[in-house]
Amino acid sequence: MTGNIGGNVLLTMAGYFASLSLFAFGGANAAIPDMQRISVDVMHWMTAKEFADTFAIAQMSPGPNVIIVALIGYHVAGLPGAGVATLAMCGPTCVLAFVVSRVWDRFKAARWRVVLQNGLVPVALGLIAASAIVIARTADHGLVAVAITVVTAIVAFATRLNPMWLFAAGGVIGLSGLV
Amino acid sequence: MTDSSVPVSPEARPVSPDVGELFLAFVKVALSGFGAALPWARRMIVDQKQWMTAQEFNESFALSQFLPGPNVVNFSVVFGARFAGVPGALAAFLGLMLPPVVIVLILGVLYAHFGEMAALSRILSGVVCAAIGLLIATVAKMAKPLFTQGWDWAPLIAIAAVVGVAILRWPLPYVFLGLAPLSIALAWFKKAGP
């Protein structure tokens, strides 16, 4: 954590996360690569390993994946940073959701809405796949590490097992020193 | 708990939730959902409380997915506003976000103090691998309908997004603004075609 919390870094984070949120089609996981790019490569807020750890902690925690921004904000500027990052990431799209929900029924069956949605799905899909790649690049590449990833992917795809058990299994295997 | 197979007519539905109930309902959704909160939100709202029918839930959630930003957070706002206006939206949002943010910050503080510890670092290395697997499963689930519905152009758009964001490391807004209009245009022609 930086010892000297200036208003500047809070403003930078607020502006960054607010604008990022408006492009986060596919949810917070679609925005992970850009968060990594900014936090590690551009602003040097943290190392790649710290970012991967931050991602892991956010995934292990209950609740929406977007809480990763609270962790990034905390790492950069303590509790004020956590609050600013979270509100900046959620505020604009929540207001948008509120406004659109008031007029949504009118457009529910509109053709352009279906087209828009169909067009956005492949982009969101690519962005989430990019998240997996960006994080995987900084993770371990041993046989056991890859095995955990593959087994988790198959189990999560084919069953409705609570992901908590998969994280727990990954954590225990990691602790044992096999990864 | 109510059997979800029993059909509920609108008249038979109990009264709408008030602000306090909205807050508590989303606290519960937040704390039971690891990875994705959606299945828990559906179970609570449709199956247990019967505040919405399955179709109403799907429509409201489709709206939340249609918009940018965290889907389930958008949904909490849409859902809260539907029953109790702005106070309802705030109550649902705070219920969904406050407990997880407090928990994740406690973990963050522990990490800041003990992150250098070899044991913690090893645990997180294992969890990261599992989390990557979960992302891959999410992608696979999203990709499934693309193949059954014959969106032949869709994989190209997805691959272009991967290359732009993960390989070239371009900023997300540039990649999005470059690809989304193209993708939407292709979706339009596909729909207009035979």
**B2-38 residue pLDDT tens:** 444 444 444 445 568 999 999 999 999 888 766 566 7
Arithmetic mean of pLDDT, A21-49? 94
Average model confidence (pLDDT) for chain B?
85
pLDDT (0 to 100) of residue B4? 45
CA-based torsion, B42, A64, A29, A103: positive or negative? positive
- Residue among B75, B109, B135 minimizing CB distance to A128: B135
**Shortest Cα–Cα distance, B31 to chain A (Å):** 5
Beta bridge partners of A62: B34
Give me the pLDDT at residue A118, please.
Answer: 84
Tokens linked to A39: 């936090």
Residue B149 has pLDDT above 80, yes or no: no
Instruction: Answer yes or no: is pLDDT of A151 > 80.
Output: yes
| pLDDT band for position A5 (cuts 50, 70, 90) | low
- Residues A17 and A87: their CA atoms lie apart, in Å, by 9
Written in H, E and C, the secondary structure of A9-31 is HHHHHHHHHHHHHCCCCCCHHHH
Q: How far is CA A59 from CA A28, A116, A162, B80, in A?
A: 11, 29, 12, 25
Per-residue pLDDT of B29-68, as tens digits, reads 888 766 566 777 888 888 888 898 888 888 888 888 888 9
pLDDT of residue A99: 92
Interval B91-135: pLDDT, tens:
999 999 999 999 999 999 999 898 888 898 899 999 999 999 999
pLDDT class of A110 with cuts at 50, 70, 90: confident
Q: What pLDDT sits at residue A13?
A: 96
pTM here is: 0.86
The rounded distance, in Å, linking the Cα atoms of B47 and B134 is 26
Confidence at residue B6, expressed as pLDDT on a 0 to 100 scale: 46
- The C-alpha torsion from B92 through B94 and B99 to B103, rounded to 10°, is 130
User: Residue B126 and residue B39: Cα distance in Å, rounded?
Assistant: 25
Which A residues, 106 through 165, put their C-beta within 8 Å of a C-beta on chain B? 108, 111, 113-136, 139-140, 145-146, 148-157, 160, 162-164
Helices (H), B8-151: 19-32, 38-42, 54-66, 71-114, 118-148
Q: Do B35 and A59 lie within an 8 Å CB cutoff?
A: yes
Residue A136 to residue B129: CA distance in whole angstroms: 8
Distance from CA of A123 to the nearest CA of B (A): 5
Between positions 31 and 50 of A, the ones with CB within 8 A of B are 31, 33-34, 37, 41, 50
What is the pLDDT at residue B192? 65
